[in-house]
């Protein structure tokens, strides 16, 4: 075909001048190939937008709406009050944000931690007031969540919601800095007053990636992130709650499995995707103190943890 | 070339109006705009990824990236087409990462090829044609499919589509012409099999 296909398309779409149209029509008259091309393009003038408007698409998942709203709100707050997140997030709580790493969401940006804090308000409200909260047809209703004590469990829901944002790539590339980790654990133990240490879960195939000091309702929340051999990261989150010990309990929050327990005034939540690692078995190992410690033994009495 | 800035005429009339609401925005407006853009970002992500879990992950990542770069959103730029750019480039990165990991690309969720019948407004034949149109676009090769989604479905101009895809405008047009040629050939066969299809090539609905 001598004539440019783009010119022929413009002809079909009526975008050419009278003069240009004549040129094209001359070509069509002598070139069966051009004539066929034009016929095909004319046939393809279909009501695409209308057809796609009728397409059966699943609705926007509630979890996505919530997450984006929380991110947008946190970002707006951050923009409005520069440095606002300094008050809620320790500066050393995140791995160094190199430009290259940020580009693919390899690490969570600092303001996302604020989204986490901001998000808990809508999350907690959603948990309490929406009966059928869940994403997609296979979502398990958060039946047990917040049933006994909404206040106590809302941090677990918020932590699980935050954990959902993490993909494997989010943490896979984060280098483990032993010095920073040891310092963070020291701050958790001495400034936050939480007798938390980093369990060594290598026996279960989990590689320690990062520990972060977050805040929930202005109280310290520790998030320890591990990477299993496959699948999304697994987090062990800890908050201080001066309440009686509680046995292991498993629940589902959105798409996450969560195993919770309480020991020595510390509430634990082990959070991960349902596939892969057996969280209950892992939680039992941790709660039985059946694991070695990677960081945090120095300066803390072993008796307190056992 | 005159046509370079024009909208594809096979697009429904919604084009300029739907984008007007997101025009003349700046980065600081982005947080307030995102929730409203979400349904269209979700639909676009579903259509390019073909999987609801991928789509959810994709939109989340794109929103994170967009908010981080909100200052780069120039006044007068359509926030929607800027968001499409980020959704698309995030998806391309993901596809590359997957092929590096030797994983297959997405399998299409067949449910998404269905359209909702609307008995009050349409004849069964029109509903059937809508399904065929969706199916025909979904079966196009990746690059052509995305161009059709942006131009014919989302109503972007060739220039906007070129910006979203980060390719020259000529590439957009040649992909579009190939896509329409394929669809035309497909519907041409159907045309000749049946006496006449309700959607006439001489009188497009749009």
Report chain B's terminal Cα–Cα distance, integer Å.
Answer: 24
Asked if the model's pLDDT at residue A222 lies above 70, the reply is: yes
CATH number at B43 reads 1.10.1740.10
Compute how many other C-beta atoms are within 10 angstroms of the C-beta atom of residue A4.
15
Distance in Å from the first CA to the final CA of chain A? 82
Please check the confidence at residue A155 and state whether its pLDDT lies above 60.
Answer: yes
With contact defined as beta carbons under 8 Å apart, do B115 and A54 qualify? yes
Q: Which two tokens stand for residue A172?
A: 């896979």
Instruction: State what percent of residues in chain A have pLDDT above 70.
Output: 72
Is residue A113 domain-shared with residue A39, that is, in the same domain?
Answer: no
**What is the pLDDT at residue A79?**
64
Residues A32 and A139 in one domain: no
* Total of domains in chain A: 2
Q: Which of B67, B137, B177 sits opposite A48 (nearest CB)?
A: B137
**Comparing B85 with A173, which gets the higher pLDDT?**
B85
Containing domain of residue B183, as a range?
Answer: 122-206
pLDDT band at B196 (very low <50, low <70, confident <90, very high): very low
Instruction: Choose one of B107, B138, B168: the last residue of a domain.
Output: B107
- Which pLDDT belongs to residue A64? 92
Question: Does one domain contain both B45 and B128?
Answer: no
Residue B145 resides in a domain: yes
Question: Residue B123: pLDDT band by 50, 70, 90 thresholds?
Answer: confident
Q: What is the average pLDDT value for chain A, to the nearest integer?
A: 74
Question: Does A55 reach chain B within 8 Å, measured CB to CB?
Answer: yes
Residue A293 domain boundaries? 62-305
Q: Please tell me the pTM assigned to this model.
A: 0.51
Q: Which of residues 132-171 of A touch B (CB under 8 A)?
A: 135-136, 165, 167, 169
Q: Say which residue the tokens 């800035």 belong to.
A: B5
Contact status of A205 with chain B (Cβ, < 8 Å): no
Q: ipTM score here?
A: 0.73
Q: For residue A187, count CB atoms less than 10 angstroms from its CB and return exposed for 0-12, middle for 13-18, buried for 19 or more.
A: middle
Domain boundary among B48, B80, B107: B107
pLDDT at A1 over 50: yes
| B93 shares a domain with B40 | yes
The answer to whether B52 contacts A72, with C-beta atoms less than 8 Å apart, is no
E-strand stretches of chain A: 198-200, 207-216, 219-227, 234-240, 246-253, 256-263, 266-272, 292-295
CB atoms A76 and B133 under 8 Å: no
């Amino acid at each position: 075909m001598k004539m440019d296909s783009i010119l022929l398309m413009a002809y079909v779409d009526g975008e050419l001048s009278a003069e240009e149209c004549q040129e094209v029509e001359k070509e069509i008259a002598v070139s069966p190939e051009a004539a066929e091309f034009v016929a095909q393009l004319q046939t393809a003038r279909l009501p695409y937008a209308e057809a796609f408007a009728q397409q059966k698409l699943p609705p926007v998942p509630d979890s996505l709406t919530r997450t984006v709203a929380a991110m947008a709100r946190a970002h707006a707050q951050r923009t409005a009050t520069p440095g606002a997140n300094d008050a809620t997030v320790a500066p050393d709580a995140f791995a160094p944000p190199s430009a290259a790493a940020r580009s693919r969401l390899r690490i969570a940006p600092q303001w996302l931690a604020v989204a986490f804090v901001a998000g808990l308000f809508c999350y907690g409200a959603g948990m309490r007031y929406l009966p059928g909260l869940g994403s997609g047809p296979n979502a398990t209703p958060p039946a047990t969540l917040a049933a006994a004590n909404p206040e106590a469990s809302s941090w677990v829901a918020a932590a699980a919601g935050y954990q959902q944002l993490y993909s494997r790539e989010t943490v896979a590339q984060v280098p483990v800095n032993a010095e920073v980790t040891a310092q963070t654990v020291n701050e958790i133990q001495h400034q936050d007053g939480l007798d938390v240490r980093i369990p060594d879960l290598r026996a279960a195939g989990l590689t320690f990636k990062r520990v972060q000091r977050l805040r929930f309702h202005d109280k310290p929340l520790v998030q320890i992130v591990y990477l299993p051999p496959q699948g999304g990261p697994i987090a062990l989150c800890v908050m201080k709650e001066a309440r009686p010990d509680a046995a292991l309990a498993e629940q589902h929050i959105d798409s996450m499995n969560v195993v919770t327990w309480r020991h020595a005034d510390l509430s634990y939540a082990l959070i991960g995707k349902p596939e892969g690692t057996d969280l209950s078995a892992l939680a039992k190992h941790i709660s039985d103190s059946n694991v070695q410690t990677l960081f945090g033994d120095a300066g803390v009495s072993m008796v307190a943890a056992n | 070339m005159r046509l370079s800035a024009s909208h594809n005429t096979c697009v429904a009339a919604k084009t300029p109006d739907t984008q007007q609401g997101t025009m003349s925005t700046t980065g600081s407006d982005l947080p307030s705009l995102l929730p409203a853009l979400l349904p269209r970002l979700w639909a676009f992500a579903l259509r390019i990824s073909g999987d609801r879990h991928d789509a959810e992950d994709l939109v989340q990542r794109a929103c994170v990236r967009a908010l981080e770069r909100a200052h780069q959103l120039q006044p007068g730029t359509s926030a929607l087409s800027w968001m499409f750019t980020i959704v698309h480039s995030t998806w391309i990165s993901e596809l590359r990462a997957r092929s590096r990991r030797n994983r297959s690309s997405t399998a299409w969720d067949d449910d998404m090829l269905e359209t909702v019948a609307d008995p009050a407004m349409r004849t069964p034949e029109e509903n059937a044609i809508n399904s065929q149109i969706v199916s025909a676009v979904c079966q196009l090769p990746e690059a052509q499919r995305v161009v059709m989604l942006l131009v014919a479905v989302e109503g972007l101009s060739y220039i906007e589509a070129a910006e979203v895809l980060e390719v020259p405008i000529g590439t957009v047009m040649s992909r579009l012409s190939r896509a329409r040629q394929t669809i035309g050939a497909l519907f041409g066969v159907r045309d000749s099999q049946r006496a006449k299809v309700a959607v006439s090539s001489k009188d497009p609905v749009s």
